[in-house]
Amino acid sequence: MIRPGNWAHVRRALGHRDHYLFNLTLGPALISLWAQRTGVGWLTWELTHSPSWLGIIAAADLLPAVFISPFSGVVADRANPVRMMWITQAIIMVHAGVLWMMTATGTIGIWSLFAFALITGFNQPFSTSARMVFYPTLVPKEDLGTAIAINSTIFNLGRALGPAMGGLLIAPFGVAFLFLLNFIFFFAHAANMLRIKGRHAEHIERNRKGMFREIGDSLLYAARHRGIGPMLVLLTVTSAMSRPVGEMLPGFADEVFSRGAHGLGWLLGAMGAGGLVGAIWLTQRGPVKGLTRVIVTHTFIMGATTTAFALSGNYWLGLVMIFAVGFTQTVTGTGTQSIFQMAVEPAMRGRVMSLYSMVWRGTPAIGAIAVGWIAEASGLTWAVAGAGTACMVAWLWSRTLLPRMTPALENGPDGLPRP
């Protein structure tokens, strides 16, 4: 339940100059980014009318994270996080500009669209790893959990408004217009980020080793951690199974519900709105205590609503179910990110959080390919319903580990309980 008076910690976190500046232009940039993602999905469907190609384009966007994230985490632990963050945002800006020009001139094709998705896929792990180390430079440690939740709220605001805006703008203005908007807003965001200093950066003495040795250390650390290891396994299953439903929505909008681009916009908007409500709920919730159980419980709800969406056969019921899927995906994903940030040792932050990024972005790519191929053989409905059922099986396993995961995640690296 959202309690209207429980916002003092939010006001305090936004009172820090760098944190305020970062969020100032983030919202419009994320709205335009999600509008662009809608455009890419619809353009893929227009060019091919193939669920397999929807999965392939999604894989090109997401799969590189599986291979690159461990390396990007080492880079983030070594680099200036503010500078690294600016570079990755500037790449998004240039990417959108070139994509707009090729689409506007009619020179875009499915293979060039695949290449653009790969560019995003290679940039995103560095952007995400930089962001994981960048957040602690914006606020003091006591406000870090709130800052992460605020960012998730803004992210899901973009996820809610961007797809709906994209779906509504495609018909009157064309797909290229969405790419132009993304270029404009990321130009403003990159320019604004030049004002950020990173005043709360942690000063940590690091004994640098070879890159592969440092990656190995992070894998051992995560595997031996009584909370981070099992939660990464749970996140892997749910990310691979539930999150590809978003990549399949163009097929549901056109083939299952017969609603076209307009219907796709509302399906994606409903999913994003659920994510926004989930992020707001997490933001006002505040304390870390009890968050492990919340994540595990919402894993079951995620699986159940994913299955119900696939089997509904009704557009309006589908909107309700996809809203619930978006809510639970945000609660589990953002909740896991927050609890990892609080539990991990500072010297390992970039590398361990890159493992989170690898799972969060990479495994949906594998799932999207698998669901796309299964959908070609058995139809979208049964492929997505089966994915939701797999999430419920993962929930059964995770329930047995709650007693060991909870203290390991909620007490922090120093063994002391977090508020």
Distance between CA atoms of residues 419 and 401, nearest Å: 22
- pLDDT digit string (tens) for 287-314? 677 889 999 999 999 999 999 999 988 8
Angle between helices 51-62 and 363-378 (to 10 degrees): 170
Residue 208's pLDDT is 59
d(CA 186, CA 183): 5
pLDDT in tens, 217-233: 878 888 888 889 899 99
Task: For residue 203, count CB atoms less than 10 angstroms from its CB and return exposed for 0-12, middle for 13-18, buried for 19 or more.
Answer: exposed
pLDDT tens digit sequence for 375-413: 888 888 888 899 999 999 999 999 999 988 888 888 766
Positions of the chain with pLDDT under 50: 1-5, 203, 205, 414-419
For the question of whether the overall pTM of this predicted structure is more than 0.85, the answer is: no
Provide the CB-side half-sphere exposure for 84 (13 A, CA): 25
Residues in Cβ contact with 334 at an 8 Å cutoff, skipping those fewer than 6 apart? 148, 149, 152, 278, 279, 282
Q: CA–CA separation, 349 vs 345, rounded Å? A: 6
Handedness of CA 337, 339, 341, 346 (dihedral sign): negative
- Decide: 278 and 332 in contact? Cβ < 8 Å: no
- Please report, for residues 92, 140, 315, the alpha-carbon distance to residue 81 in angstroms, rounded to integers and kept in the order given: 17, 16, 44
Tens-digit pLDDT profile for residues 266-287:
887 788 788 888 878 887 776 6
